[in-house]
């Protein structure tokens, strides 16, 4: 009789588990056959045996053997990313050093320094989001250092996160939200930048499932309901294209791809339209079997064939073949008018381009080695190294700058000589100057864009030609920080300003010494500290700088003396400290606040109950998302304003939960009283006589709601307006929205702030 194991009230058969582990391992080996040599399988087998032994007594939250997870990560690395045998072995071993009795030294002894170094990198970034924002940023830097040193570390980490998201059901709701928001904040955009479109889309969809389950399941069901009709339409649409391509001698594949749920939801929000009006829910992809030297010409030939059959939208042509994206993506995109008056997006690419689009960095590296040229992704990694060198000490600025510069969309601009330069979307003329050279930026006096003089903060657009005007007498100014958006420019400006400040401080120190002598005050450490305190400055350096800039004159120093007691040239003046709170670190304040909250919540299992004043805690409803009873919410501890209540799908939730998870507390509504909460709706439609009267009648008469404000504007036969009203709960609000949508002429009704 086989041994039985009980975990989480579930019974597991030990013998069956061993068979299942071997079945999953054999599947991994079969996935490796296409990309990994036979001799390298010995390494994978050795890693599997080592990991199995190390994790033999460990189980996941589901109760399953822990080894299922490393095997699943290795399968993702082999099949969906396409990495080498070393990466597959590291995937099997990635949790050994962190979760078992084995150390990095043991791994190095068994597998060598290369694998040990990768495992070390994975262990260091295993918890990017730590107890405080400063520790988070330090771990973030460590991750980026390993990314720029050996990109396999972050590729395995992405695979690890993907499997964790696929099995997120086993975690409690609060942990699900935290992991989902971390994924949206970092791992999804990082996957996109590294070229893993399929993984990025799946991560976003899985995250949406937990951050806004109602939206996720609604769109998912609608996609399933329309699948059959969509399949028939694609067959009808592609039939003449297939025939024409064959007639022209092309070898090709054509497939229809449905957009991701998250992408559809983003389009619905951006355009403020229902699911039924999203015209590009699917795209038709044409993949050509083309010689590498004829790729561009063949893609444009195929484009010509498609646009001969269907009329293209001239505003929807995207040429990423002539100018590939920074993550290496190459393709031609066009939108054409298909049958039944429907717009259809058509993507045209070759097999090589498609492999890079699907396998991202791994495929790009393979083709790069063959060509021996630097790719866009290598330039991106070089930019990471540069940001790490010029990064400011402030944790939050560092993370925000990184996301802005390396995860954003891009623009392409030209130098006066026609050299193409890539910059993040939103870059200014000053950013362009610093992208040329540090000295060009520091001496930047002005700029010409398309031969017209523009200010330094002029935002550039793709296709602009930019000329920088320099002067040797020009130096960076403090307000330049507000003109720049790229991390490189900000870092260089801060460095230049710091250097200028230090030079002025040296002069200021000498000036202050002379002034103090005239006032018969000793220039000693104690007196300087009192001066710093008196003028409410942060350091001696700030004091010297203010003196050099003549912001602190002899008159101010005399005032200081008059408020002080002077005896034998030694000042006894002492000023009260600003406040104990300003002296404390933010983390200490938060820790103290959390201790107070835990004491008051210990009867409620760490859950803040909102609505009837049961708990004597200072909380308020956040104006950024206006939560009302029925919304899924969480509490966020602020420094001075108590607890702010946000909706789980608040526009700020991703940032708050990922960067400040240690400040988040669970919260739920329990109010039974009839309390009115401020909320808002946006209404759009076709203008008609009496429209406002119809809307207000439904709101006031039929639903008995008080309107706080109403603002409706009409233009060219259409109207749009916002209505702020007092509502009882989400059911009440949803009922109102459904009723308003039925009004003749109304095209859309959405909740304001709905994300």
Distance CA 633, CA 665 (A): 10
Please confirm, yes or no, whether 358 is among the known catalytic residues: no
578 alpha-carbon distance from chain centroid: 37
Sign of the torsion angle spanned by Cα atoms 625, 628, 631, 632: positive
Which residue in this structure is represented by tokens 């709905």?
754
Q: How far is CA 383 from CA 260, 486, 498, in A?
A: 30, 11, 23
Which residue in this structure is represented by tokens 């996935």?
31
Element (H, E) at 257: strand 252-258
- Sheet with 607-610: strands ordered across: 607-610, 664-669, 633-637, 643-647, 619-621
Question: Six-digit token pair at 506?
Answer: 């040296």
Mode of pairing for the β-strands spanning 664-669 and 607-610: parallel
- Which candidate in 98, 378, 394, 584 is catalytic? 98
Which residue in this structure is represented by tokens 């996941």?
60
Element (H, E) at 139: helix 133-149
**Which residue from 182, 321, 308 is spatially nearest to 243, judged by alpha carbons?**
308
**Which residue from 185, 212, 207 is spatially nearest to 659, judged by alpha carbons?**
185
184 in Cβ contact with 649 (< 8 Å):
no
412 in Cβ contact with 323 (< 8 Å):
yes
Mode of pairing for the β-strands spanning 607-610 and 566-567: unpaired
515 in Cβ contact with 554 (< 8 Å):
yes
215 alpha-carbon distance from chain centroid: 20
- Which candidate in 17, 99, 114, 400 is catalytic? 99
Question: Six-digit token pair at 582?
Answer: 């300003």
Residue 62 DSSP one-character state: T
- Please tell me whether residue 275 adopts helix, strand or coil conformation: helix
- Please tell me whether residue 679 adopts helix, strand or coil conformation: strand
- Please tell me whether residue 558 adopts helix, strand or coil conformation: helix
Question: Six-digit token pair at 390?
Answer: 């010029």
Question: Cα-flanking dihedrals φ and ψ of residue 142, to 5°?
Answer: -60, -45
Distance CA 575, CA 561 (A): 13
**Which residue from 293, 275, 304, 366 is spatially nearest to 82, judged by alpha carbons?**
366
Please confirm, yes or no, whether 99 is among the known catalytic residues: yes
Question: Six-digit token pair at 324?
Answer: 């590939």
> Which ranges constitute the DSSP H helices of 463-583?
480-483, 487-518, 525-534, 540-548, 554-562, 580-583
Element (H, E) at 469: strand 466-470
Distance CA 138, CA 125 (A): 10
Task: Count Cβ atoms below 10 Å from residue 393 Cβ, excluding itself.
Answer: 9
Instruction: Tell me which residues are annotated as active site.
Output: 98-99
């Amino acid at each position: 009789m086989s041994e039985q194991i009980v975990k989480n009230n579930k019974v597991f058969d030990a013998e069956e588990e061993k068979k299942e582990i071997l079945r999953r391992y054999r599947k991994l080996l079969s996935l490796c056959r296409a990309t990994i040599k036979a001799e390298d399988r010995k390494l994978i087998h050795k890693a599997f045996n080592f990991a199995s032994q190390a994790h033999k007594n460990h189980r996941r939250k589901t109760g399953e053997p822990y080894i299922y997870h490393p095997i699943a990560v290795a399968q993702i690395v082999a099949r969906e990313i396409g990495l080498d045998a070393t990466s597959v072995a590291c995937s099997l071993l990635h949790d050994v050093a962190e979760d078992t009795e084995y150390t990095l030294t043991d791994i190095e002894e068994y597998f060598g320094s290369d694998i040990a170094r990768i495992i070390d990198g994975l262990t260091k970034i295993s918890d990017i989001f730590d107890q405080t924002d400063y520790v988070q940023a330090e771990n973030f830097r460590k991750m980026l250092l390993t990314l720029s040193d050996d990109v396999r570390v972050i590729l395995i980490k992405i695979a690890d996160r993907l499997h964790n998201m696929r099995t997120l059901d086993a975690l409690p709701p609060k942990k699900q939200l935290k992991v989902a928001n971390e994924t949206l904040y970092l791992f999804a955009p990082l996957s996109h930048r590294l070229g893993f479109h399929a993984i990025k889309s799946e991560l976003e969809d899985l995250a949406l499932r937990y951050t806004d389950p109602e939206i996720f399941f609604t769109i998912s069901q609608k996609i399933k309901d329309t699948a059959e009709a969509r399949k028939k339409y694609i067959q009808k649409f592609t039939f003449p294209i297939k025939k024409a391509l064959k007639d022209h001698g092309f070898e090709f594949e054509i497939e229809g791809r449905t957009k991701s749920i998250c992408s559809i939801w983003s389009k619905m929000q951006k355009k403020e339209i229902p699911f039924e009006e999203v015209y590009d829910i699917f795209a038709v992809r044409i993949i050509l079997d083309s010689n590498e030297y004829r790729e561009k010409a063949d893609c444009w030939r195929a484009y010509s064939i498609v646009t001969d059959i269907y009329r293209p939208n001239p505003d929807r042509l995207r040429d990423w073949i002539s100018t590939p994206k920074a993550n290496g993506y190459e393709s031609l995109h066009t939108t054409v008018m298909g049958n039944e008056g429907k717009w259809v997006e058509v993507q045209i690419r070759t097999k090589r381009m498609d492999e890079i689009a699907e396998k991202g960095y791994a495929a790009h590296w393979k083709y790069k080695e063959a060509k021996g040229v630097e790719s866009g992704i290598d330039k991106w990694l070089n930019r990471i190294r540069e940001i790490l060198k010029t990064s400011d000490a402030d944790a939050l600025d560092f993370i925000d700058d990184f996301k802005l510069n390396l995860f954003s969309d891009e623009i392409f601009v030209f130098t006066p000589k026609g050299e193409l330069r890539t910059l993040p979307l939103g870059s200014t003329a000053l950013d362009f100057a610093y992208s040329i050279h540090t000295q060009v930026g520091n001496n930047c006096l002005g700029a010409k864009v398309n031969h017209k003089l523009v200010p330094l903060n002029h935002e550039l657009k793709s296709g602009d030609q930019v000329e920088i005007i320099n002067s040797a007498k020009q130096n960076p100014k403090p307000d330049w920080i507000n003109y720049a958006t790229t991390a490189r420019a900000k870092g260089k400006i801060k460095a230049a300003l710091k250097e200028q400040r230090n030079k002025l401080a040296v002069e200021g120190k000498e000036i202050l010494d002379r002034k103090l002598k005239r006032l018969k005050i000793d220039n000693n450490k104690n007196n300087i500290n009192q001066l710093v305190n008196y003028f409410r400055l942060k350091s001696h350096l700030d004091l010297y700088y203010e003196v050099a800039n003549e912001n602190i004159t002899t008159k101010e120093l005399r005032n200081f003396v008059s408020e002080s007691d002077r005896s034998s040239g030694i000042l006894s003046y002492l000023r009260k400290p600003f406040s104990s709170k300003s002296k404390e670190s933010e983390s200490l304040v938060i820790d103290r606040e959390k201790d107070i909250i835990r004491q008051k919540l210990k009867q409620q299992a760490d859950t803040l109950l909102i609505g009837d004043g049961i708990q004597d805690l200072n909380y308020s409803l956040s104006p950024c998302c206006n939560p009302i009873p029925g919304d899924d919410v969480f509490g966020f501890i602020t420094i001075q304003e108590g607890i702010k209540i946000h909706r789980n799908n608040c526009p700020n939730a991703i940032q708050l939960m990922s960067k400040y998870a240690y400040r988040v507390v669970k919260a739920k509504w329990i109010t039974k009283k009839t309390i009115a909460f401020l909320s808002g709706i946006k209404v759009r439609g076709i203008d008609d006589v009496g429209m406002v009267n119809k809307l207000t009648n439904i709101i006031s008469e039929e639903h008995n709601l008080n309107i706080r404000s109403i603002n409706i504007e009409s233009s060219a036969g259409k109207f749009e307006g916002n209505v702020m009203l007092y509502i009882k709960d989400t059911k009440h609000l949803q009922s109102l929205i459904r009723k308003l949508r039925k009004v003749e002429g109304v095209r859309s009704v959405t909740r304001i702030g709905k994300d």
